[in-house]
């Protein structure tokens, strides 16, 4: 079971990278990480908003992968790492909310519930 949890966390980490790293392409109507309903201010431009999302997403992907490694080796700490990272990922999803990310929020809530 712990092995499957590790595989699921690796998959979730890869989805983070697939969603947040690509640049916006209006022809493909892809997700735009420059658009945040909270960060739309004069102090934060579109590039800054996208940069913040990418940095946090890469951090989440790395922490989910670390938690997966912990599950693979049978360590006692991966539940806490997975839960904390799910909270950060959920906040990222809320800050940059788009209807496409609704299922992403559900996955993060499931990880949080299972880890606790």
Which pLDDT belongs to residue 88? 97
Tens-digit pLDDT profile for the chain (116 aa)?
889 999 999 999 999 999 888 887 777 766 677 777 777 666 667 778 888 889 999 999 999 999 999 999 999 999 999 999 999 999 999 988 888 788 889 999 999 999 88
Sign of CA dihedral 92, 94, 96, 98: positive
Q: Which contiguous run of DSSP H or E holds residue 27?
A: none
Task: Give the residue extent of every domain in the chain.
Answer: 2-21+36-115
Q: Which two tokens stand for residue 59?
A: 């951090």
Which pLDDT belongs to residue 97? 86
């Amino acid at each position: 079971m712990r092995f499957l949890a590790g595989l699921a966390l690796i998959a979730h980490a890869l989805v983070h990278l697939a969603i947040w790293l690509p640049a916006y392409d209006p022809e493909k109507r892809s997700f735009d990480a420059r658009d945040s309903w909270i960060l739309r201010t004069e102090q934060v431009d579109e590039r800054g908003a996208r940069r913040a999302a990418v940095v946090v997403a890469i951090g989440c992907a790395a922490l989910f992968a670390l938690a997966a490694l912990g599950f693979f080796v049978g360590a006692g700490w991966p539940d806490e790492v997975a839960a904390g990272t799910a909270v950060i990922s959920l906040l990222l999803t809320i800050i940059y909310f788009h209807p496409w990310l609704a299922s992403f929020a559900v996955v993060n809530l499931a990880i949080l519930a299972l880890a606790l």
